[in-house]
Amino acid sequence: MHRWIMVSLCGIACVLGMGFLFAEVQRHSSETKQEAAAPALPDAPLNAQAAEAVYKQSCIACHGNDLEGKMGPNLQKVGGKLSTEQLYKVIQNGRGGMPAFKSSLKDEDIANVARWLAEKK
């Protein structure tokens, strides 16, 4: 009798595990499609003052005064980890607990902040 209970529990665990696996694959697939559909980085020169102003308005609450990170991650050396294009897509589409800013910021502002952050190495 105990053997049947253990077999049943293992079977249920396998089914749940497969369900979580398929859900994760589907989530990753939709993120990849969303990133691929994102427009290319607008071609504009870096304006550090404007980027800092956008950062102070939209990002400082989670990433801190000096990019040190609070609720969000530390961005002081993010340019050494992510390219300008990757930063642009993260800011535009969000990631993890970070919201997407494509509906609240202009593409040029997002690109400017991405270029500014990419210099932080």
pLDDT tens-digit map of 36-89: 555 688 888 899 999 999 999 999 999 999 999 989 999 999 999 999 999 999
Instruction: Write out 4-37 in H/E/C secondary structure.
Output: HHHHHHHHHHHHHHHHHHHHHHHHHHHHHHHHHH
Q: Does 10 count as an annotated binding residue?
A: no
Give the pLDDT of residue 118: 94
Instruction: Check whether 18 is labelled as a binding-site residue.
Output: no
Question: For the chain, what percent of residues have pLDDT higher than 70?
Answer: 90
28 is in an annotated binding site: no
* pLDDT for 31: 65
What is the structure's pLDDT at 33? 63
CATH of 48-119, one of 1.10.760.10, 3.40.50.720, 3.40.1350.10, 1.10.10.10: 1.10.760.10
By the 8 A CB rule, do 72 and 63 touch? yes
**59 marked as binding residue:** yes
What's 110's DSSP letter?
H
